């Protein structure tokens, strides 16, 4: 599973109660100095140019960020204090609306800094992050713990249903009231100070955690020096490894970089078992090496502080606090869903391992070699052999048809068919970008009206966060005037040498479409208030559109148009598509257990309360209790689990991918039960009730309005080829 990391960071900043230390920002920047900084700093100026203004990446210097943040904090604090001290009776118009308008400058600066953190996290950017994160946390708490402000919000909330407020206005009032309440706005001054001390420390620890993982990714890789080191690898992978070596400045035949997009293809195809093991160990040990970047003590401290904060805020555990305003509502409901899926996934893994072991035994016997036991670095390699044996499907046979740029065009086509969006490349140099590899596209509707901008950042590079995600540079809103969204999709594919087409795996193609789903949700937004926009929804509702859009990749309409051979230009043969369809549930045990083990660990860690935890020992004990197969490791081991330790993001919330998958599988059947994947009536219901409403409606109600009922787990079980649980008939 891949998450939109920048989305997670934004949610942690704007929507989560964990935000920092109460500390007068005036200590750092006086009003007169703030005015001077605003005059000189490009980050503090409204964006100019076409499309309602664009980020001025061509003028930004890293040294601009600190003074810009300090000035923007002072500006927001001044606005908030005016709201809190207003002598008039609290109303939506004099309290909630100005609060929604406040902080525009800081929001703009932080979003741009988030782009640098994720895509160009150089040492000077990291230095700013280390210094400013605690101060930003302090600033947030200073606002959330403002008792007069909270009382005004609470007063508006108390009469919201009697005040003739529109539904979206009521929802915004609920939003602020809930966030302030969960932040501890109602606590006494001593408890607030304690919460703030914890938040400030957590902010620093999150920065340390993510920078440690990035350091291990940058500092460790596998060099391939002899021809034999490349055994089993097709030309496309060899070319990517050459690019990897060039990127690291080493003069060898190739380098397996310490990123998922580089390691996993090597594990699937390399016939050198010793090198597969080395690549695997480098990857799974990120953050867990005996060096200065080891994250275990950091994880332990984060868990302890989160547990203490939850108690101060009146919750039994961090998990109970985090799930208070989600679809699941309680950790117990989330765990119940995971435990319903786990046995079926585990049973499937045992079948998969048995099939792989049979092939391994046959090969060992044929070569008169000692029997090997399937290990984690063997799983993908032998899974490909099983796929070929059972389904006559070879990943190398599919990959030549999966060109990155062609699939991107396929995503555009799907967006047009479902939502009426058109994507047109913006001329290079017209819109500034943070790196030359990034391209910009204008999005318009069927009538040609401007919808937003989409930035395409596909390639891996040094100091870029690994994985795949969507970022919001600007949210849609209609408070004072219509503001159009600016979003990006970011990946870590290895760039082709000399402009050669980039060929990706079927799984990577699904991830491509998945992350595009996040962008489409932002581009569809019709919400009036930025705080309720797009992905600012319940944590376990964020991933639903992304998981759903993935399904359109395998439709015949997309494959015949865009899955074309990189040399011949011929579309993927129907018989090969048929093989892909027959193998859709193949390896579903591995995929589910690899993910679900991490989700269960996440929840167990955060249900442990104030008990001191040794992360390594805890991970081992819990996995043993779950019956975790020796042949699989968690998709993200604890010391590198950025979803839950690099921010509040997915903490006690990694289960949400499974929750979203339940929704997505059920929603996909809404299309298949109707006129098919491109049914316009179902697409319109999806757009109007889910994609365009953000957090302006309760997530469960929004889904119910789309589907006509609540979701069930049966569709997901069918999709993964698991046995569907039988629900007993109630006795009369």
Q: What is the mean pLDDT of residues 241-270?
A: 94
Specify the 3-state DSSP secondary structure of 104: helix
Is pLDDT of 11 > 60?
no
Please check whether residue 485 lies inside any domain of the structure: yes
Could you read off the pLDDT of 683-692 as tens digits, one per residue?
999 999 999 9
439-444 and 450-459 strand pairing: antiparallel
Per-residue pLDDT, averaged over 454-472, amounts to 93
Residue 335 lies in a domain: no
pLDDT confidence bin for 729, thresholds 50/70/90: very low
Beta strands (DSSP E) in 650-721 are none
Q: Does residue 285 lie within any of the structural domains?
A: no
Query: Could you tell me if residue 647 is inside a domain?
Result: no
Using alpha carbons, list the distances in angstroms from residue 281 to 17, 139, 202, 599, 641: 37, 41, 29, 22, 16
Flag whether 261 is in a domain.
Answer: no
Four-CA torsion 201, 205, 208, 210, nearest 10 degrees: -140
Parallel, antiparallel or unpaired: strands 486-493 and 469-474: antiparallel
- Please say which residue of 562, 582, 602 terminates a domain: 582
Assess contact for 255 and 224: CB atoms under 8 A: yes
Minimum mean pLDDT range among 46-55, 174-183, 212-221, 722-731: 722-731
Q: Which two tokens stand for residue 406?
A: 């062609």
* Chain centroid offset of residue 624 CA: 28
Strand runs labelled E in 382-475: 422-425, 439-444, 450-459, 469-474
Q: Distance (Å, rounded) from C-alpha 71 to C-alpha 63?
A: 14
Expressed as residue numbers, the domain containing 440 is 400-582
73-93 confidence digits (pLDDT tens)? 999 999 999 999 999 999 999
In the predicted structure, residue 448 carries a pLDDT above the cut 90: yes
The verdict on residue 729 lying in a domain is no
**pLDDT for 303:** 98
Residue 732: is its pLDDT beyond 90? Answer: no
- Among the three residues 582, 608, 635, which one is the final residue of a domain in this structure? 582
Instruction: Give the distance from CA 236 to its chain's centroid.
Output: 28
R_g (Cα) of the chain, nearest Å: 25
pLDDT of 466 reads: 84
- Report which of residues 221 and 726 the model is more confident about: 221
Determine the Cα–Cα distance for residues 217 and 222; give it in Å rounded to an integer. 11
Average of per-residue pLDDT across 186-202: 96
Instruction: Collect all residues with Cβ–Cβ distance below 8 Å to 162 and sequence separation of at least 6.
Output: none
List of residues 6+ apart from 712 with CB closer than 8 A: 662, 666
Q: What is the CATH number of the domain that holds 138?
A: 1.10.1370.40
Q: What is the pLDDT of residues 317-336, one digit of tens each?
A: 999 999 999 999 999 999 99
Asked which of 131-145, 430-444, 529-543 is least confident by mean pLDDT, the reply is: 529-543
pLDDT bin (cut points 50, 70, 90) of residue 37 is low
Domain count, the chain: 2
Report how far residue 331's alpha carbon sits from residue 326's, in angstroms, rounded to the nearest whole number.
10
Q: What would the pLDDT profile of 575-590 be if each residue is shown by its tens digit?
A: 999 999 999 999 999 9
Assigned domain for 519 exists? yes
Percent of the chain exceeding pLDDT 90 equals 87
123 within a domain of the structure (yes/no): yes
DSSP label of 62: G
SS3 state at 723: coil
Q: What is the pLDDT of residues 591-636, one digit of tens each?
A: 999 999 999 999 999 999 888 899 999 999 999 999 999 999 999 9
- Percent pLDDT > 70 in the chain is 93
**What tokens does 670 get?**
């809404």
Cα–Cα distance, 315 to 323 (Å, whole number): 11
Is the pLDDT score of 26 beyond 50?
no
Name the domain boundary from 548, 566, 582: 582
Q: How confident is the model at residue 710 (pLDDT cuts 50, 70, 90)?
A: very high
């Amino acid at each position: 599973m891949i998450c939109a990391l920048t989305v997670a960071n934004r949610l942690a900043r704007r929507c989560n109660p964990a935000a920092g230390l109460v500390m007068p920002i005036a200590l750092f920047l006086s009003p007169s100095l703030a005015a001077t900084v605003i005059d000189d700093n490009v980050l503090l100026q409204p964006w100019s140019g076409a499309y309602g203004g664009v980020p001025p990446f061509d003028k930004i210097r890293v040294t601009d960020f600190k003074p810009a943040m300090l000035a923007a904090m002072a500006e927001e604090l001044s606005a908030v204090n005016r709201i809190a001290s207003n002598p008039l009776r609290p109303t939506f118009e004099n309290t909630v609306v100005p609060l929604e308008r406040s902080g525009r400058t800081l929001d703009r600066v932080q979003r741009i800094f988030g782009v640098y953190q994720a895509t160009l996290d150089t040492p000077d950017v990291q230095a700013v992050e280390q210094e400013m994160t605690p101060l930003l946390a302090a600033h947030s708490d200073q606002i959330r713990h403002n008792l007069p402000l909270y009382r005004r919000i609470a007063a508006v909330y108390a009469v919201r249903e009697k005040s003739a407020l529109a539904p979206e206005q009521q929802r915004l009032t609920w939003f602020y009231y809930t966030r302030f309440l969960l932040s501890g706005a109602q606590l006494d001054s001593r408890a607030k100070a304690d919460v703030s001390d914890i938040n400030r420390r957590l902010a620093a620890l999150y920065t340390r955690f993510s920078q440690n993982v990035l350091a291990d990714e940058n500092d460790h890789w596998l060099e391939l020096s002899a021809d034999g080191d490349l055994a089993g690898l097709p030309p496309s992978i060899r070319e990517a490894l050459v690019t990897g070596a060039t990127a690291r400045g080493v003069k060898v035949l190739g380098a397996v970089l310490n990123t998922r997009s580089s390691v996993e293809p090597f594990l699937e195809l390399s016939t050198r078992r010793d090198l597969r093991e080395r690549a695997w160990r480098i990857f799974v040990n990120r953050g867990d090496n005996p060096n200065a970047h080891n994250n275990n003590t950091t994880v332990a401290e984060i868990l302890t502080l989160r547990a203490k904060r939850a108690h101060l805020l009146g919750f039994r555990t961090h998990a109970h606090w985090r799930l208070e305003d989600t679809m699941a509502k309680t950790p117990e409901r989330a765990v119940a869903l995971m435990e319903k899926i786990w046995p079926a996934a585990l049973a499937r893994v045992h079948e998969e391992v048995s099939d792989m072991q049979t092939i391994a035994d046959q090969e060992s016997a044929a070569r008169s070699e000692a029997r090997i036991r399937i290990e984690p670095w063997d799983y993908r390699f032998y899974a490909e052999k099983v796929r070929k044996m059972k389904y006559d499907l070879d990943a190398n046979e599919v990959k030549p048809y999966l060109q990155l740029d062609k699939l991107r065009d396929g995503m555009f086509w799907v967006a047009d068919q479902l939502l009426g969006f058109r994507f047109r490349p913006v001329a290079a140099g017209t819109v500034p970008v943070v790196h030359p590899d990034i391209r910009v596209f204008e999005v318009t509707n069927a009538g040609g009206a401007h919808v937003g901008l989409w930035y395409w950042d596909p390639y891996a590079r040094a100091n870029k966060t690994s994985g795949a995600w969507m970022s919001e540079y600007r949210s849609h809103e209609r408070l004072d005037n219509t503001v159009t969204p600016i979003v990006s999709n970011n990946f870590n594919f290895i760039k082709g040498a000399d402009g050669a087409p980039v060929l990706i795996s079927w799984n990577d193609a699904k991830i491509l479409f998945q992350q595009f789903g996040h962008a489409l949700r932002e581009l569809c937004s019709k919400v009036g208030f930025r705080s309720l926009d797009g992905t600012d929804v319940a944590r376990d509702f964020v991933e639903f559109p992304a998981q759903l859009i993935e399904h359109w990749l395998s439709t015949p309409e997309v494959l015949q148009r865009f899955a074309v051979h990189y040399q011949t230009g011929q579309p993927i043969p129907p018989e090969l598509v048929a093989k892909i369809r027959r193998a859709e549930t193949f390896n579903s045990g591995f995929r589910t257990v690899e993910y679900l083990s991490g989700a269960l660990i996440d929840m167990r860690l955060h249900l442990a309360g104030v008990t001191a935890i040794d992360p390594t020992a805890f991970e081992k004990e819990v996995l043993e209790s779950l019956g975790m197969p020796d042949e699989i490791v968690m998709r993200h081991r604890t010391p590198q689990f950025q979803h839950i330790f690099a921010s509040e993001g997915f903490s006690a919330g990694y289960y949400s991918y499974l929750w979203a998958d339940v929704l997505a599988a059920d929603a996909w059947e809404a299309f298949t039960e109707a006129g098919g994947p491109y049914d316009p009536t179902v697409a319109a219901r999806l757009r109007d009730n889910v994609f365009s409403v953000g957090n302006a409606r309760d997530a469960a109600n929004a889904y119910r309005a789309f589907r006509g009922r609540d979701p069930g787990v049966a569709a997901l079980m069918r999709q993964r080829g698991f046995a569907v649980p039988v629900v007993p008939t109630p006795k009369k």
